[in-house]
Amino acid sequence: MRISISKIFFACLILGCTAYGITILRAPRVPDEKRRMIEQLEKENEALHREIEEKQNYLSRMRQNPDELELEIKRRLMLVNPGSKSFILQEGTKSDAAH
């Protein structure tokens, strides 16, 4: 029994076409995953841009209004002017609320 070169070539062609078909059928999954990742990263990017814009607005407001800046400094650093009083209230715990 003799195997001809054309039969070997035909078998290789069938194997190659099968491998190519499997690759093409599996390929659409990768772009879907990447598309989802891109969409997620775009949403995160938008959120970060909004956060940056809010902080820039806050900074510009502080630059334009020195009284608000002074109040914010006092609030964050818990500073008090000489001669003034500051009261710090703590919320009660559950055991205090029961009494």
Return averaged pLDDT per consecutive 10 residues of the chain, 99 residues in all.
Answer: 82 92 75 88 98 96 90 83 79 60
Tell me what pLDDT residue 56 has.
Answer: 97
Neighbour-count burial for 71-91, b at 16+ CB within 10 Å, e otherwise: eeeeeeeeeeeeeeeeeeeee
Q: What token pair was written down for 48?
A: 């970060």
Tell me what pLDDT residue 45 has.
Answer: 98
Angle between helices 66-77 and 29-64 (to 10 degrees): 110
Tell me what pLDDT residue 60 has.
Answer: 94
Tell me what pLDDT residue 86 has.
Answer: 76
Tell me what pLDDT residue 2 has.
Answer: 72
> What totals of helices (H) and strands (E) does the chain contain, helices first?
4, 0
Tell me what pLDDT residue 18 has.
Answer: 93
Tell me what pLDDT residue 57 has.
Answer: 96
Tell me what pLDDT residue 78 has.
Answer: 78
Distances 52 to 18, 46, 48, 67 between C-alpha atoms, Å: 52, 10, 6, 23
